[in-house]
Each structure stands twice: as C-alpha cells, then as structure tokens.
Structure 1
C-alpha cells in the first residue's frame, strides 16, 4: 500500500520548511522526488534517495560527491518510516556539517505528519464503512450475512443499544449534516441520503418503555439550534421504537411515512412524531396498496358543494375538538345555529352524520385519505 502521494509529500515539505530555513525534498519508495521546495525537481530521480531505500539508513552527500551522483545536491537524506517500514525519503539541502543537527528533527516531523494523515484517512474510511453498514441495516436483516456482523464488530458498533430511526431534512444538507454530526452520541449511527439524513438515535428506556419525551425534547433543541445558529429550516420525523435489530427497518419505514404525511397535514410544523400520525400513516399505506376505494368518497362529495371550504373546515375543527360544540363555535367564530346548519348540510351531502361516532369516523378517514394522497 502506498502511503506517500504528491499531495501529502508537498504538505510535509511545506510544513518542515517552516521548521528550518532550508530546501526540503520528499521522495517516494522508488526514489522519485514527489514533493520539493524547488518545483523544478519534481518527478526526477534522486540517486541519494535510492541508496537510502536500499540501505535503510541515512545518506549524506557532500558538495564534492554531487558530481558523482545523478539528480542530487549536497545535503542529508533520511528514511521516512511508517509502521516499521521505509516508505519514502526526506532530504535536506545544504552542507552536511551545517544541517546535520536538523536531520532527526525533520525526519520526526515528516513521520508524525504521515502518521496523522494515515490515521485521518483510516478514520474517514471507517466512517464511510459505518455509513454503508447503517444503510444496509435500514432495509432489514434478512440479507445480512456473517461478514456484515464481523464488520460491525470490528467497528465497535453495538446493535443491542436501543435506538429509533429519525429523518432530518435541512435547507442546506451539507451545513446541517455537519452541525448535527457534532451533536451525536458515540453510539448513534447515521447515513446520508440525497434528500435527508437518516439517524439511528440512541434512546432512553425505562421499564422496557421508550422515554419518547426525552427524544422529542432533544429534537426540539436541535431544530431551534439549526434555526438560531445555522439559519437553517429543518424538518424532523421520528419513527417508532422496536427492541430488536429487525425493528430498525420498521422504525425507518414509519419515519419515512411520517415525514410524508406530516408534511401534507401540518406543513408548518418542524417535528413529526409517528405516534401522532398513526392513522394517516396507515391510510398512506392503504393508498400505496391500491385499496383506498374501500373508504367512501365523502370529502369529494363535500368539495363539489363547498366552494368556500367552510364545511371541510367545520368538519376538521369538529374532529379536533372532539365534538364539543362550544369549543367548535369558539374556534370558528360562528353562531351555534350556523354550526348546526353546517353539520346538517354535511349529513345531507354525504349521508353521514358527524354527530354519530361511526359516521364521524368514516368522514374523518375520508378527510385524511384525501389529505395524504
């Protein structure tokens, strides 16, 4: 595996030249200069570096010796080691007697920069792999094999930690993602989709029950923080909790449906919780399976004779206020006789009386189905 490339080699050159006021060259494992303070020397063979690689030790070149070697100048060349192997060479240009004291310092700096770069690359690779494994988990456990769980174990992912799927949609995906990522717990998993971020959020369990209030409060803080500090609008959809690994996919699907119906029913809300949208989610799934015709077309019947939308508004508020006439007339700013007339009119047009529980249920189902299409 090649650890040194031109980009990293030049970074080593730039950073080490700040330590000493001398030209620095970095050569790869073949002795080719891939980083230098003198750009004219890039891509040329450094014979002194070739000797360092062959002998695994430093090699000094005096001014007199430069004529005997190809592509070199007076200086000191030292092996760059990584995990016990020579992966390149770093050279300091100048009279050896003048720069010898700098050699180990520059070599140490180069190796530290290399180790840091490789560590960051490995961490980024692990993050990408973790995202990939999380994405597979969202689609169920049926297709997961032993290799999958070996990778999960290597990355230190604990799938027994209780979690809930949460969808986050930002006005600026990249900016919002970075802000949220800094707020995550170590056990949280996430994956970026084109239009949203999926988060498997660690949750608190008390007496086998999910303390959903804590999760929702945290989501409210995040939504407020994104708006206040990042100037970003955010919609958050929270799925359901299931105690087993195969329940993660169920939680994710419910979060997807909740996001869809929540945006249609309450477009001004920022947080949609599955438990608040169980019925419209059910209807959305019914529509998906093509059996929505079983629910009567009552809302369509009302719309044909309700140009101002007064009957629909009345029905909606009547349901929300649990049929309490006093509260309904207060919200709609109408007289009790007007409410009675509108309820009678709804009954006349649909043959369903909102004052009867069974009829009201059918009317409400028709209303929701019309909203979530």
Structure 2
C-alpha cells in the first residue's frame, strides 16, 4: 500500500477531532505527505527515515524476527503498519512529554483508517473492468497509486512500450439510401460498426495489444505493442496497418474510418491525459486533412505533409537539409540525438536524461549538428527545417 497525500488527508481529518496537537504524516520514503501545517508538505523527515530504516534492517535480518515490536520507539513519532507492511510514519508536534499520552492512540486510529481505506481500494479495484482500468490509464491521473494497483491486479504490464492509436468510424453517405429491410441507416451503421470492432481484434492481435472500444462514441482506442524496435519504423508499420484497416472497413463493411497514430508510451506518466490529447489531434487532423484517412498525431502538420511528397523529392530534400551529417562517421549518433530531442519537444534536460548523457554533452552534439547542417536548434525556422529533413530521411530509411 502506498501512503499518498489523499490518504494522509483522511488520517489527519480523523485525528483532528480526537487529540489537540498538529499531525504530521510521512510516507515510506520519508516525505511528508500530510500535515496540519501545510508549509512543511513535501519535505523530508529525517527522524522518521532513520526509524523506518532501523525497522527494515531488523525485520529483514534472520535474527530480527518479523514483529513490529522489534524496535522500541521513542520521541514524538511512531511507524505505521498496514497488514504487517511498513507504509510510513506519523508524528505529533509539541513537547515530547505532552504528546506521548496521545501517540499510541494516534497510531492506532491512523492504522485503522489506512487499513479500511486499503480494503475499500482493493474492493473497488476488484470490481473495476479492464475497460474501466484502461480508460483511467489514458485519462488524467488523479490517483497514481490506486491506478498502479488496478493495473497490477488486471495484469496490465506497462514496462512494454505501446503506441496510442485512435480510430473513429462514421457512415458513408450514399444519396437515395434511406432504409434497408425496414431499418434506418443508423441501425445499419451500428451493426456494421460492431462487426468492424470484432474484426479489429484479429487485426490488433499482438500479445500486448490493448483495445478500448467505445461504440457509443463511434471510436476505439488501441494501445499497440511495438511492431518494430526502431520508433520511426514502428510508426510506419502502424500507419500501414491502419491503412489496411481503413480499406477493409470501407470495402467490406461499408463504413468510413479515420485513424490517428499518436504517442509511444513507455511508462505510466506517458499515458496521462492521452485520451483528450488524441481527441484534439483527431479534430485538428480532420480540419487540416479531411481526405486523409490515417494521420500521424505526433507531427500533425509536418508529418502528414511529408506523406504527400514523392520519394525522390524526399531524398533530395533530406540530402540538402542534413548534408554532411549523413556522411559523418557519427551519423547514427547525431540522428538519434535529433530523434530524442524532437520526441522531448525540444526539452534539452529531458532529452539528455533519455540519452543517458550530461546536458553539456548534448549541447556539444547540437553544436556539431549545426556545423554539419548549417541549421541551429535554437532558431524556429531552422528547427522546422531540420524536423522536416529528418522526417523525410526516416520515411525511406525505416
């Protein structure tokens, strides 16, 4: 169980009515996640950290036993356990001799509150369907601890990267066709869409593909496992797959389909708010490219413009933009640097972390890229030119 801010607030609210002192709630890492005095939230509580470390050492040693009574606690704080699991600590502010009479009662009440909340969370998680858990995953994350528990309980492993794909259906307008076998067009469309959704399960049948159909909104979100180790190659294969699905939908089921291939997600945080993001990308793509059935959501304008340029022109533009970089002995290194920088929305700190290099090393690489190409990542026109040249190069080298 993770003792988070939401749980800490419930503990504090309960204790405010039964004892007169300020309460401090600390999580298992020693961070203050709840306090009557909100100014200390987020700070480390070193006394609690030392005490919890002592518990862990003794409880993990062969001779230490498994009892929480192994450590004799003193001072103004006490460690918290839920079902024999050390989850954090709690303390009261004031003179030690004054707060001691309240400490054991404080710990008991806090542990009862946490145990009850843990049981309620487990019950709600058990009742949740796969559909509800996936919907929470790609919505704004309000309670990551609870979401993580739900994902684990439903066997959804996020350590495998997945790309978010949005597919939306609509009727093909045919003049003069109003009824068929006594049914209206909407009823016919709904039947065709249900059949198409069933067909999608065979199309997206990789072991780690996750489908989230929402027939009431005429759409399905798909979290697609990687089809290629190379991110650009993976994106290209997903586009091809969506194009095949679009043709199948139109020819065999008589319904129109538009798809957006979005972000590749590698951890829980990457999925945060992706539902809303994909819907916005869909609306923008529908406005800018109404006749294009499959869109690249990560580069809604440049990426889809690139789709209309013939390969010969792509090669020519890529060669003109990237120039000497493509003939450099460190070509792959510089191309990877650009790829990660673009994926991080030009955030150099985040890019250096993902590349596992120091920020100064990244700056050195970017300077070298500028020397080889003549374009700088610090000027907006140059960034767009580099991005387009990179997209063209990857389109025929994926």
Higher relative contact order structure (alpha carbons within 8 Å, sequence separation ≥ 6): 2
Q: What TM-score results when the alignment is normalised by the length of structure 1?
A: 0.38
TM-score after normalising by structure 2: 0.36
